[in-house]
Structures are given as C-alpha cells and as structure tokens.
Amino acid sequence: MSKKLSGVHALVTGASSGLGYAMAEALLEAGATVALTSRGGSKLHEAVAAFKQKGYDAYGLSLDVRSEQSAQEAAQWVTKEWGKLDVLVNNAGIGMRTVNPRFLVEPQPFYKVKPEGFRDLIDTNVTGYFLVARAFAPLMIEQRKGRIINISMNYETMKRKGFVPYGPSRAATESLSFIMAEDLKEYGVAVNMLLPGGATVTGMIPDEIKQEIEKQFSLIDPRVMGEPIVFLASDTSEGITGERIVAIEFDKWLKERGLY
C-alpha cells in the first residue's frame, strides 16, 4: 500500500483488536499517524508496540467512549500533541455476546434481554459514537475540514431474530451518521459509514461457538476494511459525505461512481 496518507492524523476507537486493529493497521501502512484507542490494558499496549517496531507512527490512548470526560480528554490530547485531527474512526462497540453468548446459534427474544444489558450496549454503541464525535467536531469545524467514519453493520442484522439490542444500536448509529453529515456539511467535514458486509472474525464471536458459526456463515477477514478506510481517509474521497459503504462491495461502489 502506497504512502498516500502521509501527513494525515487519525484516531481509531476500539483499535486494540478486530475491525479497529485492522483499520488502524491499514491507515498506518498508508503512511498516516494513528492514535489507537481503547479502554486501556495490555492488548492496546502490545498492539501499539508492535506497530512502532515496524516503524509506524502509532500512539496508544486510553479512551472510554461511554464517558464524556474521557472523550473530551482524548480531544484535548490530540489538540495539544497534534494540533489537528484529519480522520476520526468511530468503531468501539460491544456485541450480542454481552447479552447472549450463544446469540448466533440460540437467539434470545427481546423480552428476555436484561435491561442493564440493553442499556450498557446502547450506551457504548450509540452514545459512545455521539460523545466521541461531539468531542472532536469543534476541532474539525475550526479546521474547516475533517473526515468522520462511523462503523456499522448489515441491514439484515438490524432485523434478525434475537438481535436486540445490537440491531437497534446500529440502526441508531446510521441515523446519527446521516444527521451528523448534514450538520457538518457546511464546514467541509465529511461523515460516512463503513461496514464489513457480513459476520467477521472478531472478538464479538465467542471462541467457544466459532466452529458452530463457521458451519453456518462464511466469516469475513477484518482486513477487508483496509482499502475502503484508506480511501475515506484520503483526498480521493473529497466531497463524499453521507455515504454508506459495504467493504466487500467496495470495488463495485467505486465503479458505480466512476472512481475506479
């Protein structure tokens, strides 16, 4: 991958593993300076250390997306250390395993979901995107440029049996994204959505049922997010906002818009 993102500063939430890690790696490989964030711990430290060893300009930042204070502190760090932020990737989230570990093989109806499990997931997946974007939007507005990429999922999952509260959380994320795009358009800040296009090999699928899942689904490698995330972070995507891009259909999306 070429160094087309040289000079670009990006922050990726939930970057210590899964989709976040794959996207951070792709941005780094393309020459970007990247802050990988998570709630902290050894996984984040090890990920950043491994990237630094490869010569990438990677930083680790503790960020709890559910905390307004934590989001504001991350924005303050970026402003102080970098003076700008070109790309924000809202990815941190939790999945169905937090309310039903066997969600893909034994769906649980919504009326059996515990209220605290529902609230916790919504607080992370929806309110988290809002809080982080809210913290960084003023900096991007001041710059009169910036790109926010909100990670989402298939429409099918929003309607699938037994997928409360994860389905509703991502439906809300998409509405939030469309409105954010409209609110920020006049300031030259783009907001787009990116999703893999199916179930991916990430920590959201418990190891103990992974073999069962692989019999029913063809799991997608998280690295499928690499090419589209680099595109959305680059000047090539200038003027594109309010779009919903499916990673496994990215080539088709480019061709339809004459960008291939």
Residues marked active site are found at: 166
Least Cα distance to 23 among 90, 71, 74, 123 occurs for 90
Instruction: Give the list of residues 6+ apart from residue 163 with CB closer than 8 angstroms, or none.
Output: 96, 103, 107, 157
The two tokens of residue 51 are 């990237």
Question: What distance in Å separates the CA atoms of residue 251 and residue 260, rounded to the nearest whole number?
Answer: 7
- Answer yes or no: are the C-beta atoms of 91 and 20 closer than 8 Å: yes
Q: Is the C-alpha dihedral spanning 131, 132, 133, 135 positive or negative?
A: positive
- Answer yes or no: are the C-beta atoms of 155 and 101 closer than 8 Å: no
